[in-house]
Chains A and B, each alone.
Chain A
Amino acid sequence: MRKFTELKGLVAPLDRANVDTDMIIPKQFLKSIKRTGFGKNLFDELRYLDEGKPDQSCEGRPLNEDFVLNQTRYQGSSVLIARQNFGCGSSREHAPWALDDYGFRSVIAPSFADIFFNNCFKNGLLPIVLTEEQVDQLFNEVEATEGYELDINLDAQTVTTPSGESFSFEVDAFRKHCLLNGLDDIGVTLESEEKIKEYEARRRQETPWLFDAIQGA
């Protein structure tokens, strides 16, 4: 996994609550068996005026000029700010894959849906929870200032505005450790291989009906 340590990036404001994962990456693009290539279809239904199809080039498709990511001033942004309950709905990891593939490295919102929040950490994407007031302030500043950038420091757990104002955020110690070091979760878990085996042996004694029922031909 790619490390996340510090990021100074252009901010794009998506002024919506309850942004669901169908919106982030519509279902027709979930048919891919790869992890990459979803960026061009990020927010497809908001971004383009026509219906997107998988395996289609997006060049020449009619753009929704009103959509924030189509505005010149937000090109190249790597931090997305949004309203409450970001990432609700489907568990599709294609949502963080699409955000990542587009170029986002961090999403800031007052709250996130659980599964999406969790999926971000598996992909080197940092979801940050700030208060409603802080997010409101960021929206106001971003919209008022072209080229608005935020400085995100994971080690210090801070988001710093261009004026030097700093907001701190919470992050689980283990998730932080994995992100800072780009660690593969599976590798870390397999360090506990013996413990898993011990647990499993005990469960086989206590609840044998949970084992071996499903057998191939």
Chain B
Amino acid sequence: MTNKTLYDKLWDAHVVAERDDGSSLIYIDRQLLHEVTSPQAFEGLRIADRKPWRIDANLATPDHNVPTTERSSGVQGIEDPVSRIQVQTLDDNCDEFGIVEFKMLDERQGIVHVVGPEQGATLPGMTVVCGDSHTSTHGAFGALAHGIGTSEVEHVLATQTLVQKKMKNMLVRVNGKVAPGITGKDIILAIIGEIGTAGGTGYAIEFAGEAISDLSMEGRMTMCNMAIEAGARAGMIAVDQTTIDYVKGRTYAPKGEMWDRAVEAWADLHSDEGAHFDKVVELDGPSIEPQVTWGTSPEMVLPVSHNVPNPANATDSVEKEGITRALEYMGLEADQAITDIQLDRVFIGSCTNSRIEDLRAAAEVVKGRQVASTLKQALVVPGSGLVKAQAEEEGLDKIFTEAGLEWREPGCSMCLAMNADKLGQGEHCASTSNRNFEGRQGFGGRTHLVSPAMAAAAAIAGKFVDVREFVSA
């Protein structure tokens, strides 16, 4: 028997049929649905008079469009009529087809990639898909998880399968321990800085090494979430005790004798000794510093202590043009210190960093301090109603509001500004989200990606600081 990678094992376990051209029909165990990428898929089912293949494989919740301010009147209270129709359409479709949905007023509602794991709807060894590129998040559980387009959402609804070609295997190993104060976010940003936004294109990335196995499930989800920002549709991490402890007792996780059987099966969800990877990238954990993106692509990232690049030092014309354009859009000078960037807003939230551990880290930094008077707004948006409830039980909401941050209702919010939370033109934002593309957080908005602790420190200082110095000061 040949030695297999984790990805090989997950792939092999889900092949329904192989085609002559090298593509395969892959079985999908779980599909998560939200309001933006599903309406046309349900419409397709109706037009073709098809029914979902397996209702219990699906779980839905609205997240992208929902307001994060007071919303006790539910869908009807969404001011933007176009957003309202989209959320209502998800409700209607789930009702019509019998799919379980956590609607806006359900405490379990939240960002799909927070809700799935929280409910135990994401389990080790599964294939997980969703019409959202950040579905890679679920790979943190030793699952094969990736984003799909709307046509594929319809395909999975109708057939419980996808036509796929096997990707190549990449191993990213982060050796040694990271320094205190360095998070999964800093590690993944450092990796993207190293391999670039297309470095993982065509690959499934497995993250491994001491720095990775030291991470909590929250930290692992942050890392896998951003595998797509390195171009890899799927990121994954082997199952260990941390995974099993997280899953145990969750609503949709197996119980009793079934739990024991499952845990036994999950013990194999790791790459075998000597398994072949097509590409291996190694990083030195101890040398990773807090990361800040300065440009308009996640690969435009540097340690907080550095200066933004100078296009004059670019190695080729495409890179030079890219840096020049990014500096212009971001309103930055070449060689300017990252710590000199003045901020207008801070956003703590998104499927990357809105889980309880993220909120605890941010609260620890702002506790007893005040948001800089130069800031227009600092938002904290929990990833789900249950994360919100947990944070409130721990008193984190009070810490945030006393420091001058706003405490909101769960949703995607300012990560992509489909609801009312957005940046104004030219505004700089320290954001715990995943994309710093032009206009992503609002027309003309300027996004800097950071960890929750770094965003919290930036909120207090009004500019970027090394959170490690900040906390000890």
Name A residues whose Cβ lies closer than 8 Å to a Cβ of B: 17-18, 20, 22-23, 26-28, 30-35, 45, 51, 54-55, 83-85, 88-93, 96, 111-115, 118-119, 122-123, 172-174, 185-186, 189-190, 192-193, 195-196, 199-200, 203, 207-216
How far is B133's CA from A34's CA once the two chains are assembled, in angstroms? 20
Q: How far is the CB of B167 from chain A (nearest CB, A)?
A: 8
Q: Establish whether residues B147 and A91, one from each chain, have CB atoms under 8 Å apart when the complex forms.
A: yes
Q: Establish whether residues A195 and B416, one from each chain, have CB atoms under 8 Å apart when the complex forms.
A: no
8 contacts between A and B (CB under 8 A): A31-B36, A31-B80, A33-B89, A88-B231, A92-B37, A115-B146, A115-B148, A118-B149
- Residues of chain A contacted by B148 (CB below 8 angstroms): 91, 115, 118
Q: Establish whether residues A186 and B149, one from each chain, have CB atoms under 8 Å apart when the complex forms.
A: no
Q: Establish whether residues B161 and A54, one from each chain, have CB atoms under 8 Å apart when the complex forms.
A: no
Q: Is B46 an interface residue (CB 8 A)?
A: no
Can you name 4 extra interface pairs (CB under 8 A) apart from A196-B159, A209-B123, A215-B100?
Answer: A55-B82, A85-B197, A186-B48, A189-B161
- Among A83, A92, A209, A216, chain B packs the most CB atoms within 10 A around the CB of A209
Q: Quick check: which of B53-61, B353-361, B362-370 contacts chain A, the rest being far away? A: B53-61
Select from chain B the residue with minimum beta-carbon distance to A132: B318
Q: Establish whether residues A89 and B437, one from each chain, have CB atoms under 8 Å apart when the complex forms.
A: yes
Q: How far is the CB of A178 from chain B (nearest CB, A)?
A: 9
Q: How far is the CB of A13 from chain B (nearest CB, A)?
A: 14
Q: Is B77 an interface residue (CB 8 A)?
A: no
Q: Is B27 an interface residue (CB 8 A)?
A: yes
How far is B58's CA from A215's CA once the two chains are assembled, in angstroms? 10
How far is B17's CA from A174's CA once the two chains are assembled, in angstroms? 14
How far is B19's CA from A160's CA once the two chains are assembled, in angstroms? 31
Interface size on B, as a range, is: 35 or more
Q: How far is the CB of B381 from chain A (nearest CB, A)?
A: 16
How far is B437's CA from A91's CA once the two chains are assembled, in angstroms? 14
- Residues of chain A contacted by B125 (CB below 8 angstroms): 207, 210
Q: Establish whether residues A85 and B231, one from each chain, have CB atoms under 8 Å apart when the complex forms.
A: yes
Q: Establish whether residues A122 and B16, one from each chain, have CB atoms under 8 Å apart when the complex forms.
A: no
Q: Establish whether residues A214 and B121, one from each chain, have CB atoms under 8 Å apart when the complex forms.
A: yes
How far is B48's CA from A186's CA once the two chains are assembled, in angstroms? 10
Chain B 150-169: CB-based contact to A (< 8 A → 1; otherwise 0): 11101100111101010100
Q: Which of B406-430 contact A (CB under 8 A)?
A: 416-418, 425
